[in-house]
Amino acid sequence: MSTFLIVLISVSAGTVLSSLLACLPGLHVYNVMGAMVLGILALEGSNWAVPVLVYLPAMTGMIVGWSMLNTIPAVLLGTPDESAMFTVMPGQKYLMAGRGYEGTMITALGGLAGAFFLVLVVAPLAPRYLPVSQEVLRGHMHWVLWIIITFIIMSEWPKGGNRGPAGWAKFYDAWKTLLMGIATFLLSGLLGFIILTRSPVSHEVAFQNIMPAFVGLFAIPWCLLNMISAANVPKQRITKSIEVDGDVILRSVWSGGLGGGLASYLPIVTGGVGGLLAGHATAQRDERIFIMGQGVSKFVYYVGAFMLMFVPGLYLTRGGGAWMIKTLYSPIGVSDYYLVLGCIAIAAAISYLMISPLARGTLWLIDRFNYRHVSSFALIIIVVMVLGVTGWIGLFIALVGTGIGLLPVLYGSRRLNCLGILLLPIACNMSGFGEAITAWLRLT
Amino acid sequence: MTDIQQVLPGHETQSQEMNCPSCHRYVGAVTRCPYCKAKVPKRISLMATRWAAILLATIGLFLLWLMAIHREIPVVMLGDIQPTMNFGQIRVVGQVLNDARTFRNGSMGFNVTDGTGSIMVFVSPRQALELNSRNLVPKAGDSINFAGGLNVSDQDMSMRLLSVSELKLTRAPVQDVELSAIHESMVGSGILVAGKVVDFSMPAPGSRRPYALKISDDTTERTITFWEAEYEQLANPDDLPGAYIRARVSVATYRNEIQLTLSSGADLEILSAPPEKPVRIQTPAQRAAETHRQQARPRDFSRGRSPEARGVAVSSVTTANKGQTLRVRGRVESVRAPQEGSRQPFVVTLADDQATLRVVYWSNVNDVIEVKPTPGAMFELEGLVEVYEDTPQLKVESGYRVRPVGDDDEAPAPSGEVPIADITAADQGQVRTLRGTLGAPRSLGKGTAYELKDDSGSIDLILWDSIVPADVRAGLEEGAEVVATGEVGLYQGQLQLKASPGRSVAPAR
Amino acid sequence: MKGFSHFMSGVAVASFCPWSIDAALQGNPLFFILGGACGILPDTLDFKVYRFFYDHDVYVTPDPGHLDPQYIADEIARAVNLAYDDKRYIRLKLVSVRLGADFWQQYIVNFDNEKLEVTVKFGPVVNTGQVPVEGTENRFPQVARATIKCKVIQTYDAALKVDIFDGPTIGLAQRPDGGLDVDFLPWHREWSHSLTVGLMLGVVFAFIAGLFFGNWTVGWQGLVTIALCYGVHVVEDQLGHMGSNIFYPLTKHRTPGLHWMHSGDGLPNFLTVWGACLLIFWNLYRAIPDPTYTFGFIHLMMVGLVVPGLIMGGFHWLFTRRDRAAARGDDADDEWNDMKAASG
């Protein structure tokens, strides 16, 4: 079989697989890729060894497919319970207005626009300009992380303090949520110090050290809150068109591309942080731009981070996907770069075409089945995965992470503060006083 | 719910708990109405989740912290490191292969081996400063026990030192050597040299050339090389010209010439008087360290398996073995002690049916030999093969490598086979040839293990796919009698023989 | 300007201080953190501390369960008349009406100086993006009116539209002609947005660094960094409408701004952020002793700003040829419309 066909089939298979898996809430593509890496390593040297030309396109397709299609559970499978949560995400607003399908498609369109942006704009310029910025920023990443941390903490807005006479009571009412945000950041930071310094997870699966914590901080709370939600999904309408024009797409690419690009390039900074920074920087008010920008940002973040590993002259390892690939393969030359770019383009097209039928299918599903059961099923898969890869200790870490991850949602602060798990310990280590802190914590 | 709330999108499907039961105003997630101050009851599942979150985030985290601080970081052999261990924290116990090198940004790096492989260890600039201040900068030959974070990719692996406080370093005694006595066998090790500075040349500003400090003792002259980082660490560099100094240097080669390198300015001491001549006394630890150093293996992608020492009969030792470390068994023909007060070595003549071999060692080695070789006794000696007047001789450097084997011990077969029961933990890192019967194969992922059994005992035979050819492995099966050559190792307390690269396992004839 | 613009401006100003980069290369992020934090600090002091202690004379608190525009009009009129009668500064708080996690009942207050009355009308229900909810536009067609005793002059052109988050505060100040001036958000930039306050904070930092940590060098470097970065926030806000009390406590009132922009305008905010990033990049580049890649300032600006800006601008022009009425930002956006922070 020709190389072209092998690559085409592999990328298509990876895209389709991840697109289907992306519909399950809480399951992250990096978890699935981690299991795949284990399998590939186990088969190495045997008659069933998986060649690079199969797993590389497949994994590229998986990342693209997931980043495009995980919009579906994010928008359609999470009904905000206003008796439990303080804020409603923009995608959820569409769901509550019966426009969940429309919201999903707007986000997906953002993902497609992100694919064009990545392949046609970023890819040709990256080999020329990113090495320059690498040189300029060398030695400065630590304070970049610190100012991001500073902004995350200082930019959080008090949710209370809107009623009553002036005084300490009003001040405390306002600061309750801010203090909870700071507490979330510090608790997750402490969890990060523990895992990155003296992880209880077995060293034999250390490459998935952080997975239980992330699952606990983000995925499990999502599932749990769905399961106990007292809100139901309003009747949904499937529209034939969406109200966007070229300017909305342009501004979404501008906003989302900036956020996703920052997140993919800067170490430790995730898509949520990038989105926050870009949102504040571009000051877009239109909700369509916000939602579409999220689609752009997510795509550029996940796929862009993966792509950076293949940029000739750069070979930057960013994002969990790239770190996992690095254990199997080190890219060389421009041919790998073109291969990955081609796979991104193909996978983006396939996944975009899949989103409409899968969104409709999901709407059909939630019309007939209680979305809480879907979340329960997803929770079981997550728990089995954590248990299978990292054992009981991983499950305990996930539980602790769940506690921390529930705090912002139930007590009115930002989920973003949970990223302290990586931001705080790594910023401290980069600045050189991480060891002083771990010594004080008796971890070293 | 009020009328208006009923028309708000999605509110018709929301729970009544978002409104105050008393005044019916929207209150959201709070538990007390900000309008009428009435309590807003929430369902049990929600309250339980809220409390569970607090408890898990605090008590759960505390328990996790307790678990972490009481967890021992496991010791992992470098040869057993897998890609899935990336980001893992492991402990390595081994020996430093080379003096730690300071990089331009102030960080440091050094290589460590534990006999199964080697790895580069990186130290951050702050940790490097602390290592310097606590005199813990690793030098070649030092024994080291440290914990670090792994970075494993498909092409290489490295570690990042986790904590200076968890690093245990046992200094390898450094040999005080006359300048003329420095030779190639010392490459990779640290030595002490002393002499008078006869020339000190500094590089031109902006140049990347090193500093060159030429010193002279009674025997010859040598140049010590170092760079800007080390120069800045010198206490009084202006006092160097013409001064007597003592320095700990690393021996390396550069363009086929011996090069002495100063790793740290703190390793150079300006003396107030001419130094005394070095006395070549070596403690057993020094000899053991030197022997261990010579057995240090370079890093390779076959997960560190690169055997050097082989057990052979006297007649098997030829000039072609020059530079190799061999264990030789034979009958002692004669022993000649040196004249008192002289610096001559002990000379032992070892023989078998076909040849004789001259074995030399010095007094310090003799001091620690428990059972001295005597004419007529069967002995086994391990040392470095040298060529003297076109004839091979064995230079023994450790008295612990000299032992009697007894007359009723079987002489080794020409191929150097030994009974399995003879393999002990002291043989770690040595190459042995065993004959036995294979047990059932067990897959190790990237290799296969067989139990190898003979009349005296059994041992695990490990064949790694990356170094033992497929056709060799394919020819092995349970019940087959084979002769296997490999390196003795210890894994999880059990001895094992790791088959050497190539056709090291063959059917017995 | 939006908080992030001020924040990045502070970081950019810090990057001009050579000690910031030297310290950063030694692993010390202090000065850059100070730069960003002090860049955003004036607004933090106002919106997260001071406003909760700012007492009001009259609180207009509509009942979400029983929406009555007349109550609002009467209370506002009472505040105006109190200011007129007592000849003192009256602080009036208009509380927002929350109907859901994402829904707010809008009401609009207008002062009719011809008829000497205040009018109040309930508008539609809006979401946190201030987008009206369909079907809620004309639920309250009635316009409530209440008589006031004097003219009320609005020099600030922000609409008295109360909808999302915390409602506005109005200050009613005496005019020489007997009327009242409306001060929008009187507690905002009352003392916090002052160059002298920034300098004083720097002095405090210097003393702490010197006396408690014995490091006077860091002390004076911190003083300069804080004063400059805090000051850049004040300077940027002067480009808007509200202005600031620039030399508090030496000055007593806000100096009106230059009216060059609204604080919520998208393009000026983005240009400020992006320009700050490029300046930071340039300063970091200048500090490299022997760079592998060399480029000039003009080259950087062309590649980083001008060329992509022209391309984006060209596409934007193409896509919006038919509709040139771009929505202008509202100064209320800066402080009130923190939609992304709330949903983050």
> pLDDT tens-digit profile of B134-157?
888 998 888 999 999 999 877 778
Query: What six digits make up the tokens of A173?
Result: 């009412």
- Any CB–CB contact under 8 A between C330 and chain A? no
User: pLDDT at position A160, please?
Assistant: 84
The residue-averaged pLDDT of B123-142 equals 88
Touching C: which chains, 3+ CB pairs < 8 A? A, B
DSSP 8-state secondary structure symbol assigned to residue B144? E
Average pLDDT, integer, range A91-119: 91
- DSSP E strands in B323-395: the ranges are 325-336, 346-351, 356-361, 378-388, 391-395
Instruction: Read off the pTM.
Output: 0.77
CB burial readout B305-326, b (16+ within 10 A) else e:
bebbbbbbbbbbbeeebeeebb
Domain ranges of chain A: 3-233+244-440
B56 interaction partners in chain A (CB closer than 8 Å)? 399-400, 402-404, 406
A84 φ, ψ to 5°? -120, -35
Closest CA to C36 of C52, C22, C20: C20
- C300/A134 Cα distance (integer angstroms): 15
Cα separation, A258 vs A279, in Å, equals 9
Output the DSSP codes for C86-133: HTS-EEEEE--EEEETTEEEEEEEEEETTTTEEEEEEEEEEETT-PBP
Q: With contacts defined as CB-CB under 8 Å, which chain C residues touch A82?
A: 100-101
- What is the mean predicted confidence (pLDDT) over B476-485? 89
Q: Does B31 touch chain A (CB under 8 A)?
A: no
Return the pLDDT at C339: 37
CA of B166: how far to CAs of A202, A439, B120, B359, in Å? 20, 10, 18, 43
Nearest to C118 by CA among C81, C88, C155, C85: C81
Instruction: Give the closest residue to B401 by CA, choosing from B439, B431, B365.
Output: B365
Does the pLDDT value for residue B127 go beyond 50? yes
Contacts 24+ apart (CB under 8 A), B338-342: B338/B363
Same domain? For B252 and B335 the reply is: no
Task: Please state the rounded mean pLDDT for residues C10-26.
Answer: 95
Angstroms from C177 CA to nearest CA on chain A = 32
Helix (H, G, I), strand (E, B) or coil at A345: helix
- Look up the CATH number of the domain holding residue B436: 2.40.50.140
Cα separation, B397 vs B384, whole angstroms: 8
Shared domain check, B398 and B314: yes
The H-or-E segment that residue B489 falls in is strand B481-491
The DSSP call for residue B275 is P
What gap in Å lies between CA B7 and CA B1, rounded to an integer? 10
Partner-chain contact C319 A272, CB within 8 Å: no
Query: A419 and A153 in contact (C-beta within 8 Å)?
Result: no
B343 class by beta-carbon count within 10 Å (0-12 exposed, 13-18 middle, 19+ buried): exposed
CA distance B369 to C238: 89
> At residue A371, does pLDDT exceed 50?
yes
Name the DSSP letter for residue B27. Answer: -
pLDDT at B344: 77
B415: in domain: no
The Cβ-side half-sphere exposure at A137, using a 13 Å CA radius, reads 17
pLDDT for A27 equals 79
Provide mean pLDDT across the span A167-186: 94
Separation of CA C3 from chain center:
8
- Looking at per-residue pLDDT, the higher value among B282 and A274 belongs to A274
Quick check: is B11 in a domain?
A: no
Report the alpha-carbon distance of residue A114 to residue C321 in Å, rounded: 24
Domain span at residue B455 reads: 420-507
CA-closest candidate to residue A123, choices A385, A328, A341: A341
Contact A153, A384 (CB under 8 A): no
What's the one-letter identity of residue C138?
Answer: N
Interface of C with B in 42-71 (CB under 8 A): 63-65
pLDDT band at B34; cut points 50, 70, 90: confident
Q: Taking 80 as the threshold, does the pLDDT of residue B473 lie above it?
A: yes
Return the biggest CA–CA distance within chain A: 77
In this predicted structure, what is the pLDDT of residue A88? 73
Q: Note whether B143 and B182 are same-domain residues.
A: no
Q: Which of A131, A145, A313 is nearest to C291 (CA)?
A: A131
Smallest CA–CA distance, residue C5 to chain A, in Å, is 7
d(CA A299, CA A288): 17
Q: Which of A184, A198, A328, A370 to mutate to test the interface with B (most CBs of B within 10 A)?
A: A198
Burial of A383 (0-12, 13-18, 19+ CB in 10 A): middle
Tokens linked to C114: 């011809």
Q: Is residue B9 situated within a structural domain? A: no
Rounded CA-CA distance C69/C77 in Å is 12
C153, two tokens: 């002059």
Residue pointed to by tokens 């990347």: B208
Give the one of C37, C48, C292 whose C-beta lies nearest to A150's C-beta: C37
Q: Are B257 and B286 in contact (CB under 8 A)?
A: no
Helix (H) or strand (E) holding B113: strand B108-113
Q: Looking at the structure, do residues B181 and B262 belong to the same domain, yes or no?
A: yes
* Ramachandran angles phi, psi of A282, nearest 5°: -95, -15
> Are B447 and B406 contacting, i.e. CB atoms less than 8 angstroms apart?
no
Q: Between these two residues, C227 and B282, which has the higher pLDDT value?
A: C227
Please state, in angstroms and as integers, the Cα–Cα distance from residue B157 to each residue in B79, B85, B152, following that order: 11, 10, 4
CB A285 within 8 Å of CB C270: no
The percent of residues above 70 in pLDDT, for chain B, comes to 88
Which of the four pLDDT bands, split at 50, 70 and 90, describes residue C65? confident
**Cα A295 from chain centre:** 11
Q: Pairing mode, if any, of strands B118-123 and B157-161? A: parallel
Name the pLDDT band for B306 (thresholds 50, 70, 90): very low
**Does the pLDDT at position B277 exceed 80?**
no
Structure confidence by residue, pLDDT tens digits, B194-243: 999 999 999 888 777 899 999 998 888 899 999 887 888 888 888 898 89
Q: Above 60 in pLDDT, residue A247? A: yes
pLDDT grade for C243, boundaries at 50, 70 and 90: confident
What letter does residue A318 receive in the DSSP assignment? -
Report the residue from C27, C98, C139 with minimal CB separation from B26: C98
Q: Band of the pLDDT at C334, cuts 50, 70, 90?
A: very low
What distance in Å separates the CA atoms of residue A257 and residue A110, rounded to the nearest whole number?
10
Alpha-helical segments (H) within B89-139: 125-133
Residue reference for tokens 């599903």:
A365
B62 falls within a domain: no
Task: Please indicate if any CB of chain C lies within 8 Å of the CB of B160.
Answer: no
Domains of chain B: total: 4
pLDDT at site B294: 47
Going B474 to B475 to B477 to B482, the CA torsion angle's sign is negative
Q: Are A347 and A14 spatial neighbours (Cβ–Cβ below 8 Å)?
A: yes
Exposure b/e, B405-430, CB count within 10 A at least 16 = b: beeeeeebeeebbbebebbeeebebb
Alpha-carbon torsion, ordered B463, B467, B469, B475, to 10 deg: -10
User: What span, in angstroms and rounded, lies between the C-alpha atoms of B385 and B322?
Assistant: 5
Q: Average pLDDT, stretch A291-308?
A: 93
Interface test with A, best of C9, C34, C43, C102 (most A CBs within 10 A): C102
Helix (H, G, I), strand (E, B) or coil at C18: helix
Q: Residue A404 in contact with residue A218, Cβ under 8 Å?
A: no
Give pLDDT tens digits for C77-105: 999 999 999 999 999 999 999 988 888 99
In 3D, which of A344, A366, A362 has the Cα closest to residue A354? A362
Q: Is the CB of C300 inside 8 Å of chain B's CB atoms?
A: no
B288, containing H or E segment: helix B284-294
Compute the distance between CA of residue C271 and CA of residue C8 in angstroms, rounded to an integer. 11
Distance CA(B83)–CA(A206), nearest Å, equals 9
Of A44, A203, A225, the CB nearest to B74: A203
Q: Encode pLDDT of C178-215 as tens digits.
A: 899 998 888 888 899 999 999 999 999 999 999 989 99
C141-153 mean pLDDT: 92
Tokens 């390396």 correspond to B252
Of the candidate ranges A85-99, A265-279, B343-357, the one whose mean pLDDT is the lowest: A85-99
User: From the CB of residue B439, how many other CB atoms can be counted at a distance below 10 Å?
Assistant: 16
State which of B220, B244, B271 marks the end of a domain: B271
The pLDDT score that the predictor gives to residue B293 is 47
Unique residue bearing structure tokens 């293990």: B449
> How confident is the prediction for chain B on average, in pLDDT?
82
DSSP assignment string, C206-240: HHIIIIIH--HHHHHHHHHHHHHHHHHHHHHHTTS
| Cβ pair A296, A117 in contact under 8 A | yes
∠ at Cα B224 (B223, B226), nearest 5°? Answer: 135
Peptide bond into C249 cis (omega under 30): yes
pLDDT at C323 > cutoff 60: yes
Within 147-176 of C, beta carbons closer than 8 Å to A belong to: 165-167
For chain A, helix (H) and strand (E) counts, in that order, are 19, 0
Could you tell me which chains touch chain B, where touching means 3 or more CB pairs under 8 A? A, C
